[in-house]
Amino acid sequence: MRLIFLGPPGAGKGTQAQRIAEQFEIPHISTGDILRQAVANETPLGQKAKEYMDRGDLVPDELILSMVRERLSESDVQPGWILDGFPRNVSQAEFLDKLLQEIQQACDRAVNFEVPDEMLVKRLLGRGRKDDNEVTIRHRLEVYRAATAPVIDFYRQGDRIVSIDGSQSIDHVTQTLAIALERT
């Protein structure tokens, strides 16, 4: 099972990815988590990425793409994976398509989590991560609309997208998702 989770910040991608990853015993690959770890460990990647993350901007592709290439070459991802937070723009999506061809893997489904903006802001303010203040949140939502939303159309073209109502309770969303994935 190879899945891509798409949706705005606060849509619940990470929470659902964790659950599905456990159920299918496949790794949950969150580019946000990898980057936060790099920042915490003060690695060269972390030092470069930090300012972008603090502002709520996308970290430059040149940093992200090599990070994803490396992660997808590790042995634990052979049975499958869930990508959460990547691809975040169309050029990342094009890169991923090429990379998957190269390593002879194919993504089964892209899942799009839909949640109204006002609910996203409320959820993110409640979460209280460092980049979860109102100004940065509004900026991340703008970045999402401009850069990431077009990725949905990218996957719609290949008929690979399924949309899920992410505004329901966590358990309800997991259930809806499980039903959608059974049809995969």
Please report, as ranges, the residues that interact with ligand ADP according to CB under 6 A. 9-10, 31-32, 35, 52-53, 56-59, 64, 85-86, 88, 92, 140
Least spacing, CB of residue 113 vs ligand ADP, in Å: 10
Least spacing, CB of residue 86 vs ligand ADP, in Å: 4
Cβ closer to ligand ADP: 10 or 26?
Answer: 10
Cβ closer to ligand ADP: 61 or 108?
Answer: 61
Q: Which long-range contacts (CB under 8 A, 24 or more apart) does 51-59 make?
A: 53/131, 54/130, 54/131, 54/136, 55/136, 55/139, 56/131, 56/136, 56/137, 56/139, 56/140, 56/143, 57/139, 57/143, 58/88, 58/89, 58/143, 58/147, 59/35
Q: Which residue is nearest to ligand ADP (CB)?
A: 32
Strand partners, 111: 5, 162
Least spacing, CB of residue 183 vs ligand ADP, in Å: 26
Cβ closer to ligand ADP: 60 or 184?
Answer: 60
Query: Which single residue is written with the structure tokens 């006002």?
Result: 118
C-alpha span between 163 and 161 (Å, rounded): 7
C-alpha span between 61 and 88 (Å, rounded): 10
Orientation angle between helical segments 61-71 and 90-102, nearest 10 degrees: 30
Cβ closer to ligand ADP: 135 or 184?
Answer: 135
Least spacing, CB of residue 182 vs ligand ADP, in Å: 26
Cβ closer to ligand ADP: 49 or 183?
Answer: 49
